Structure 1
Amino acid sequence: MLLLAFDTATPAVTVALHDGTRTLAEHTEVDARRHGELLAPGIRTVLAQAGCSRHDLTDVAVGVGPGPFTGLRVGLVTAQALADALGIAVHGVCTLDILAWAVRHDGPFAVATDARRREVYWARYAAPDRRVTDPAVDWPHAVAPEVAGLPVAGEGPVKYPDSLPIPIAPTLPTAADLADLTVRRLTAPFAPTSTPTPTLTPTSTPDGYTALLPPVPLYLRRPDAVEPGARKPVSQPALR
């Protein structure tokens, strides 16, 4: 196996290469406005560091969000294009699950990332690989009662400490964690043998573990851009 993993659902443009046993190379840059500029060079960097070619790849893993529309689609379009061009499998992972996988905490916790508009994307977890609520988006003060007393990973507690006062690491996801979680899911006894039907709702495996997903974006809300409506008719002034 040679798995290329990347996530662009947060300000971190993060890429890693995994051989099924360990991470061979990883590269991360944090810039909320340059996902499209940074992803391709990051992919070239990890391939060069590992001494591999894109033709050696067997799988692609990509974070499907939730995340802001523009950054998220950069990663998903790139993953789908690579997989199609190389004829390899592509696997989606909820970005909140990537962060949760890296949490080192004995007990339940939550993950909250920046959704902009003074909101957060969030979910609760019983363990790093067991999500107990669907990802959601809401105001930090509305999330506060749902996660009261729980430590929270992600940018949420950094940006909104009054509502989410117990921060824990990590703050941003890494592709190394994405790759490790993907390999764990692919090698589990219940791993799917065929591509699942695309869905916008992250699912769990029969025993409650977070599952791999199709490479479909998890937006949770509509993008800001909308198609313009029909032009209003302009009445002509009456002739006298």
Structure 2
Amino acid sequence: MSLGRGFDIYVRLPADYDPDGPAYPVVYLLDGDSLFPILAANHLFLTYDEGLPEAVVVGIAYGGFDASVNRRGLDFQSPDEGLPLDQAGAEAFHTVLTDELIPIIEARFNADPKRRILFGQSRGGNLVLYSAVAHPDFFWGRIASNPSLTPGMGSIIGRAAPGGRDDLRVVVTSGEQDRADLRAEAALWIETWSSRDKAERPWQVRLIPIAGGTHAANAPDAYRAAILWLFGEDRPGD
């Protein structure tokens, strides 16, 4: 890959996967080392209990948590004032997603390019929101679960790149027992973008509190609440 290092990629196919039928939405999970085993399986239960559409679920993993292989601190870091460019790898990592990984997934599986979803937790949530601001049209839905946005707020709170779609959605979930500073950052991001004119904001935005939610342990609750809103018919308007 262009980063000079590889990733472990995990793919969960729908139970009734049909390579020749209607194309499936695809959910791309950052931090796949930890989140893929939890959320890929949980998606099946959501189809059983909630009527959620089946999806291809892709986990993007480093192969471990040791700093020698896990570079999430670099890859999920968006630019900010005073931050050296060599420490902000969000754009380079996003290019790996858009130009290298996702074309392979969409060539190999029956995937719908109009319904891509990106999920990130904590610093992964920062990458999700950077993607929304810098490359709005690429993912239909984005979920930032308890995002950690400092440093990096400078590049995700300013002007968004122009978008050409009118169906884009961004969800930020915030655990009620998460750190106060992270909850404040999430609220600030939502408040800032919600107050802007539609011409400046290429997506619908929604903040979903997770009752009793902590920073990481409630990722399935965040996923459930957010993805049901993404696919729900009764989505709040702007």
TM-score, normalized by length of structure 2?
0.32
Q: Which gives a bigger RCO, structure 1 or 2 (Cα 8 Å, sep 6+)? A: 1
TM-score, normalized by length of structure 1?
0.32
The structure whose Rg is larger is 1
